[in-house]
Amino acid sequence: MLRRLWLFRAFLFLGITACAAPAAPATPTSRPPTPAPRRTVSPTPVSGPPQVTLKNFAFRPAELEVVVGTTVEWINQEESASHTVTSGTPDYPSGVFDSGRLRPGDSFRFTFQQPGTYEYFCAIHPRMRGRIIVKPAPGAGYGD
């Protein structure tokens, strides 16, 4: 019994001293270690429709490409100016969509059901113009 106790204490002592022992010194190399490659982390996309902001009397982005069935949201981020999102051009409004007056903080959504290029403008500030390019959904058969 004494022998077992003595062996147990010896193993315990060796185990503790082994854990506390300093690590072996690193051997010098001829070149510095290569840093690990940097990993870029992309933010998680916010769910919801693609957005166009109305800010500084401009649509941003001025052009957006989407697929058929996509709902686009326009958000007026001006501090004090109202705007509209009106399809067509100032000389030829198409009547496809019209938000009416959007006050600061207001938004408007429209779902594009047909492929094509949709020009739009602000009826209050006609120099503000934008474009939505609607592509067929993959495998939809439009012109395939």
- Amino acid, res. 5: L
pLDDT in tens, 86-124: 999 999 999 999 999 999 999 999 999 999 999 999 999
51-135 homologous superfamily: Cupredoxins -  blue copper proteins (2.60.40.420)
How are the residues of the chain apportioned to helix, strand and coil, as percentages rounded to the nearest 5? 15, 35, 55
Is residue 36 over pLDDT 80?
Answer: no
Tokens of 93: 């409004």
- Which of 4-8, 30-34, 72-76 is the most confident on average? 72-76
pLDDT in tens, 2-31: 455 444 455 444 454 444 545 455 444 555
DSSP label at residue 114:
S
Q: Which residues contact 83 (CB under 8 A, 6 or more apart)?
A: 54, 76, 101, 102, 122, 124, 125, 128
pTM over 0.85? The answer is: no
